[in-house]
Amino acid sequence: MSGDRELDIVVFGATGFAGRLVAGYLAGHAPGGLRIGLAGRSERRLTDARAGLGAPASAWPLLVADSADPVSLGVLARAARVVVSTVGPYRAQGLALVEACAAAGTHYADLTGEVLFIRDSIDRCHDVAASTGARIVHCCGFDSVPSDLGTLVLHQAARADDAGDLLDTTLAVTAVRGGISGGTLASMMGQQDEVRASAERRRVAGDAYALSPDRAAEPDLGDERDLDWARYDGDLRMWVGPWAMAGINTRVVRRSNALQGWAYGRRFRYREVTGFGAGPAAPMLAVAASAATKTAEAWLAFGPSRALLSQLLPAPGQGPSEKTRRTGFFRMQIHTRTSAGARYLGTIGAQGDPGYAATSVMLGETALCLALDRDHLPDRAGVLTPATAMGAALTARLRSAGHTLAARRVTQLPHLSGPPRKRRPRLLPPRVSRRVNLRGYLLVN
Ligand SMILES: NC(=O)c1ccc[n+]([C@@H]2O[C@H](COP(=O)([O-])OP(=O)(O)OC[C@H]3O[C@@H](n4cnc5c(N)ncnc54)[C@H](OP(=O)(O)O)[C@@H]3O)[C@@H](O)[C@H]2O)c1
């Protein structure tokens, strides 16, 4: 990695909704002396975005680059040691920049949750990045940092106890509140369109090991499809339903396992669900939330309903209000059993809207980690995952920033044997408004 770069970190997409938040996080938290720049396709909009960041960013250089112009992306990639990109949808806008960073030996991180884009990035850029020393790290936001680091922390706890490999492992989202931006909606619809248009792309998107570094070497563990409807889970002793982000997070976690030589275990079966507890309302909540997920997917899939929704949902550049970002939060548990018969519980969570406030912390700390923690990172390069590119260094940073990432050995599930709740979980139905809450329709405790 070249130490002769003009800048340490560049935020590409700094004029967008997520990009402004990430740049704002860096303005407030980067140590003095770190050389940070802002990049985008319009100098005027970049000047406005920088003005909104206050005094710490007033002298940050501005770089004009367009994702449709590979020459400008090459200049951008060679200008910095780390490029973080919030220019999406990534499938349409992202691959040329990944290629430029891989070729230049520049570390790269983004917020994509698009499986097909990541598959293409692996196929086209992994070997190049491995040879230049670049760490290409996708999914550095709410998808998939909590899942990926949460599982790593669980694995490390079991390994420290010499408790064997991880076997059946389930992440249950127990509470989440937040909003959604126009850019995220555009990315979701773009991936839906691509999957519908091609049987081959459908096959890749539906493969539990879609992001594997070596598909033929993956173990055959039976049916590993994501949950698609509510049911009672006898092992977890609670009602569960589908989790909207399982389709990306599970693939990322399985890739992390494979990139570490299947360190979590060859019989590691990983899934993600929404957890509704076991109270009297739980079955109804689980069914209602499953139906809401399917309805939202169907409405986003087709032209006429999309056109209607576009009048009501945020447009690109728009996203949740400051109040929604401040009052949002998420909480997750990961349950696992090990080959030695031990049981572990992971807890993950943070205050702040998961997709925007907490995500800007995750991507901002990723940028700082790649730029500053070189001596503490795993010895790897290529198209990686948050856990395999940064592992314990990013975990420590996020804990210092107030995120919970913990794991402990347990003798039984604690979720239903604890003291009675003061208030019943409350289901928030998806509200169709400009502050729509498509990802935040779940439980608020
Ligand atoms: N994983 C997560 O948890 C998470 C959370 C939030 C967002 N995201 C993802 O992040 C991405 C961005 O979301 P967002 O809400 O910030 O979107 P957004 O507000 O629409 O921002 C998009 C950014 O891309 C820039 N852009 C568009 N076309 C470009 C081009 N040809 N060349 C250079 N820049 C270009 C825009 O610049 P202009 O201002 O010039 O138009 C803007 O800065 C989406 O893919 C979304 O799914 C993921």
Is residue 60 in contact with ligand 1, taking CB distance under 6 Å? no
pLDDT in the model for residue 437: 36
- Residue of minimum CA distance from atom 45 in ligand 1: 88
Q: pLDDT of 366-397, one tens digit each?
A: 999 999 999 999 999 999 999 999 999 999 99
Atom of ligand 1 nearest to the CA of 113: 1
CA of 86 to the centre of ligand 1 (A): 5
CA 181 – ligand 1 centroid, Å: 9
The finding on whether 18 has its CB within 6 A of some atom of ligand 1 is: yes
Residues 10-56: tens digit of each pLDDT: 999 999 999 999 999 999 999 999 999 999 999 999 999 999 999 99
Q: Which residues contact 284 (CB under 8 A, 6 or more apart)?
A: none
The mean pLDDT of 154-173, rounded to a whole number, is 98
Of 321 and 296, the one with more pLDDT:
321
pLDDT at 406 over 70: yes
Give per-residue burial for 296-321: e unless 16+ CB within 10 Å, then b: beebbeeeeeeeebeeebbebebbbe
Dihedrals phi, psi of 123, to nearest 5 degrees: -65, -35
Q: What residue's CA is closest to ligand 1, atom 13? A: 183
Per cent of the chain over pLDDT 70 is 92
CA distance 419 to 422: 9
Atom of ligand 1 at shortest range from CA of 20: 16
Amino acid, single-letter form, for residue 186: A
b vs e for 79-94, b when ≥16 Cβ sit within 10 Å of the residue's Cβ? bbbbbbbbbbbbbbbb
- Across 144-171, average pLDDT: 98
Q: pLDDT, tens digit, for every residue of 92-114?
A: 999 999 999 999 999 999 999 99
Q: Quick one: 44 exposed, middle or buried, by C-beta within 10 A (0-12, 13-18, 19+)?
A: exposed
Q: Which two tokens stand for residue 205?
A: 């998107």
**Which of 10, 83, 87 has the most ligand 1 atoms within 8 A of CB, as the residue to mutate?**
87
Per-residue pLDDT of 213-266, as tens digits, reads 999 999 999 999 999 999 999 999 999 999 999 999 999 999 999 999 999 999
Amino acid at 88: G
Quick check: 302 pLDDT over 90? no
Query: CA-CA distances (angstroms) from residue 272 to 226, 241, 317, 328, 387?
Result: 7, 9, 30, 21, 17
pLDDT at 306: 87
| Ligand 1 centroid distance, CA of 293 (Å) | 24
Instruction: Say yes or no: CB of residue 88 within 6 Å of ligand 1.
Output: yes
- Could you tell me the distance, in angstroms and rounded to a whole number, from the CA of residue 21 to the centre of ligand 1? 11
Q: Which amino acid is at 297?
A: E
Identify the pLDDT of residue 3: 61
| Ligand 1 within 6 A of CB of 69 | no
Report the residue among 62, 73, 86 best suited for mutation to probe ligand 1: largest number of ligand atoms under 8 A from its CB: 86
pLDDT tens for each residue of 304-335: 888 888 888 899 999 999 999 999 999 999 99
| Reported confidence tier of residue 430, pLDDT bands at 50, 70, 90 | very low
Indicate if the pLDDT at residue 442 is higher than 80.
Answer: no
The pLDDT assigned to 395 comes to 98
Give me the pLDDT at residue 303, please. Answer: 82
Tell me if 274 CB under 6 Å of ligand 1.
no
Atom of ligand 1 nearest to the CA of 41: 33
- The residue contributing the CA closest to ligand 1 atom 6 is 355
**From the CB of 182, is ligand 1 less than 6 Å away?**
yes
Q: Would you place residue 288 in the very low, low, confident or very high pLDDT band (cuts 50, 70, 90)?
A: very high
Quote the CA–CA distance of 185 and 310 in Å, as a whole number: 10
| pLDDT of 434 over the 60 cut | no
Please tell me which residue, 149 or 413, carries the higher pLDDT value: 149
Q: Which residue has a Cα nearest atom 24 of ligand 1?
A: 87
User: How high is the mean pLDDT of the chain?
Assistant: 91
Q: Please give the pLDDT value at position 413.
A: 60
Burial 147-163 (b: 16+ CB within 10 A, else e): bbbbbbbbbebbeeeeb
